[in-house]
Structure 1
């Protein structure tokens, strides 16, 4: 009550300093109870005209301020008025990350019309994530999931640069966060689910200490779990650092400056879905221990999301799943019986794909008018692709045979050349089988560094850059010619992190490596790493150690597994894992 009286007096003093005087304002105070049972004090400033029997003038509206004497609920739930006048419930859960750090997931306060929405808070960094599902798109053979993450300058109390003073196209960091969020979520939607699904994350507040990307990933999972969208999660996400031999969950920027490990982990209780990170040449034992540490924290995050879904989750709406009808699947299987093995074992990519296309055309000719409908034709194509994938996987699991004749552990033929361009500072041409990358190195001064606006804190200037381009001719196709897309930005950042750690700390020059993919048949990002090493050494850069990269695959069928080294594009597409390793 005393607190309410003090606020009452403050309002009276404010009125005296404003347009209203103490003689023209009648302050009232009454003690009542909120409809939910909590005790509240209400302060009302009523102009004298409003107290008469006459109808008040529109400009003499009542000014009402409500002062709550105590929080009506514990911190896990708060009740307030919604725009429609009804009561809305706010639920939150706290997650203990260890080391005195806590992440809070809250729902029910913002974005109430979305399928599911949450805010995730750590320190004073807050990210809002909302998930929505639209109408199905007929005639598509892929899952149209779109993830978007944006950092607003207002979150840090700043203005955007430039003439227009508003945010424009997404930055490189925002694009990388989108990709990192998409990757662990996409496999957890039901097979055949083809409805437009969007996940949007907005950075609302940034304290300059806690990074927001892993909070956006955690929020995306939580928003899907409590929404009406079919989702096979939740997942947990965590950044792991390591300083003085101790692992740190979601380290601050200050802690990351002392860390020799930067690992982002996403997974379920007993399985890993995604790992992304870089380190200062830590041992394999340290890497294993970091995964164990991350998994323990992830279990807490998953339990918290399920707890939130119990009190705030919506009933899942299961749309029509677009699976291949059994009649079409049987017809395609009957035609392809014994015919897929030979084209799947053609070593050359272009010849193999052409042989498969010819076989598919023969299949449709044999069907005649049987599956002439557009949807039936699309289902038949899907069934053909599924059988192709099953054939390639069966060859690996049963016979340890790959499409190009290699064994699971065999590398393709390697070819390297340096100094291939006469007027560049450094150049290297690296080829692994049919995959080929030309990397060009350019040296500059300190004025050539790449500067960025660090809204969330951390690095604001880079003296080493690796850019990656993937032209249409690298896969023998035509298409729209435009600037770098999300995939190109992501692959370039992956290669950049691999090589940057081997740059001398006191190197006085700015370095840019440009990777132009000349041909692609699997793992062009790892070819870019190898080509960057060749090009940098050709430019005379004293690297701490040369760096090489390789992509590993995995095929699982029950208890049977086959681990693949140096995967092809088809093995990436039809396999169960694409794990890129550089060192």
Structure 2
């Protein structure tokens, strides 16, 4: 009867059948032994369950859900399930489901660590694994991460980290949140697969695709404690993990392993068994990668429209002070006007972070104008900012102006500057010289002549 309950299809139905039998056995024992304590009865029932499970695996080649030793549970993948997230994916394997979300942020927002004992002081890639009680049909208090959640998250994070692009190639901090929606074994491996798909959905240029799988082990030992026989189980469910002797989690690409964890209830296992388990995991991993590639075979070409844009421009290091301004006034003004975040490095690298293309373009335009130099022979469109008897001052770049002498305003004799231009007028001027004091000489006459020649040439 206990074997029939254990092999009831479906986790929930199986659990109900086992609990119903447990209660029936408890009542029968109490009728004959009223003094029997609940703990001893429960332990005895679990022992019989374990014995029935192992006998069925080793003698009848029968798994709880009817699969063969090397069969995978049914797998389905879906990406882009949450449009507002930077990247998202659902990975389902049997009755285990993980919802993975990827969030991108500027590299300056990477996690900072108080490394009093040495080691890394920041992390740009983080994976958080969350296992809420409802995933196993229970209620409970949700608060800080449990030891189990920290451990599973660390395994998934380390398995995916080798695929994260270098900081110089992808200046983002990356966070994956894996939310376990349903659990029946191997949730950490589902987090690896779901997290990988979420990274690709977010447009992160990963170096390869990673998948994870768990391999279990059931053994039988003789009276001399020597191993008599064993069976390896690919893609174990929760009960097979509970009653079995091993949970070997292995993650990797088509080309190699990126992470693994071995949980054993035995003093150890032989090299032969481990070699077989690794080969089983490789075969299963290849199948899973094929299914994942069916949902998304490569990272998206573009980031989500909700992800921050990052661009880097180079300026003359001598212009850094002018860009920052007194007390940061200038740079704060640019940030306030555009909504972009700006970080400046000592070598003149200016990193611009913006949530829209318009904000990015405007920030680049302002910074480019402030740090750009006026060049002799170049033509500019500028605004008249001041009028004098001897000519007009024209701002051709943000914060940079030059003098158009009255003799250079037009190709005829000008008596008064106001007869040709007024304050606020936008006019074309050409830089005809810069003296040793940095004063810029401009010519409207030369610019008009140049533009007229271009128009004549185009007409011809």
The TM-score normalised by the length of structure 1 is 0.41
- In structure 2, the residue matched to 1:514 is 177
Q: How does 1:125-274 map onto structure 2 within 5 Å?
A: none
User: Aligned partners of 1:548, 1:502: CA distance in 2, in Å?
Assistant: 12
- In structure 1, the residue matched to 2:241 is 572
- In structure 1, the residue matched to 2:8 is 346
Structure 2: 5+ residue stretches without partners: 222-227, 253-460
Q: How does 1:18-417 map onto structure 2 within 5 Å?
A: 339-373=1-35, 376-417=37-78
Residue 551 of structure 1, aligned match among 189, 214, 235? 214
- SS state at 1:555 partner: strand
Query: Is the contact between residue 371 and residue 377 of structure 1 (CA under 8 Å) also seen in structure 2?
Result: no
User: Aligned partners of 1:544, 1:372: CA distance in 2, in Å?
Assistant: 65
User: Aligned partners of 2:243, 2:67: CA distance in 1, in Å?
Assistant: 17
User: Aligned partners of 1:555, 1:455: CA distance in 2, in Å?
Assistant: 44
- In structure 2, the residue matched to 1:531 is 194
Question: Does residue 222 of structure 2 align to residue 582 of structure 1?
Answer: no
Query: Is the contact between residue 551 and residue 580 of structure 1 (CA under 8 Å) also seen in structure 2?
Result: yes
Query: Is the contact between residue 551 and residue 579 of structure 1 (CA under 8 Å) also seen in structure 2?
Result: yes
Shift of 1:494: 0.6
User: Aligned partners of 1:574, 1:422: CA distance in 2, in Å?
Assistant: 41
The structure where helix makes up a greater share of residues is: 2
- SS state at 1:480 partner: coil
Question: Does residue 86 of structure 2 align to residue 442 of structure 1?
Answer: no
- In structure 1, the residue matched to 2:139 is 478
- In structure 2, the residue matched to 1:465 is 126
- SS state at 1:535 partner: helix
User: Aligned partners of 2:25, 2:181: CA distance in 1, in Å?
Assistant: 34
Deviations 1:70-90 (A, max 9, x none): xxxxxxxxxxxxxxxxxxxxx
Alpha-carbon RMSD: 1.2
Deviations 1:490-521 (A, max 9, x none): 11111000001101123210000000000000
Question: Does residue 89 of structure 2 align to residue 420 of structure 1?
Answer: no
Shift of 1:370: 3.5
Shift of 1:451: 1.3
Shift of 1:486: 0.9
Query: Is the contact between residue 431 and residue 437 of structure 1 (CA under 8 Å) also seen in structure 2?
Result: yes
Question: Does residue 223 of structure 2 align to residue 561 of structure 1?
Answer: no
Shift of 1:364: 1.8
- SS state at 2:117 partner: coil
Shift of 1:488: 0.6
User: Aligned partners of 1:398, 1:379: CA distance in 2, in Å?
Assistant: 28
User: Aligned partners of 1:356, 1:447: CA distance in 2, in Å?
Assistant: 53
Question: Does residue 164 of structure 2 align to residue 503 of structure 1?
Answer: yes
In the alignment of these two chains, the number of paired residues is: 244
Deviations 1:110-138 (A, max 9, x none): xxxxxxxxxxxxxxxxxxxxxxxxxxxxx
- SS state at 1:571 partner: helix
- In structure 1, the residue matched to 2:437 is none
User: Aligned partners of 1:381, 1:487: CA distance in 2, in Å?
Assistant: 25
Deviations 1:159-206 (A, max 9, x none): xxxxxxxxxxxxxxxxxxxxxxxxxxxxxxxxxxxxxxxxxxxxxxxx
- In structure 1, the residue matched to 2:90 is 429
Deviations 1:247-287 (A, max 9, x none): xxxxxxxxxxxxxxxxxxxxxxxxxxxxxxxxxxxxxxxxx
- SS state at 2:163 partner: coil
Shift of 1:455: 3.2
- In structure 2, the residue matched to 1:490 is 151
Shift of 1:369: 4.0
User: Aligned partners of 2:34, 2:177: CA distance in 1, in Å?
Assistant: 47
Deviations 1:15-56 (A, max 9, x none): xxxxxxxxxxxxxxxxxxxxxxxxxxxxxxxxxxxxxxxxxx
Shift of 1:371: 3.8
Shift of 1:372: 3.8
Question: Which structure exhibits the higher relative contact order, with contacts defined as CA atoms closer than 8 Å and separated by 6 or more residues?
Answer: 2
- In structure 2, the residue matched to 1:207 is none
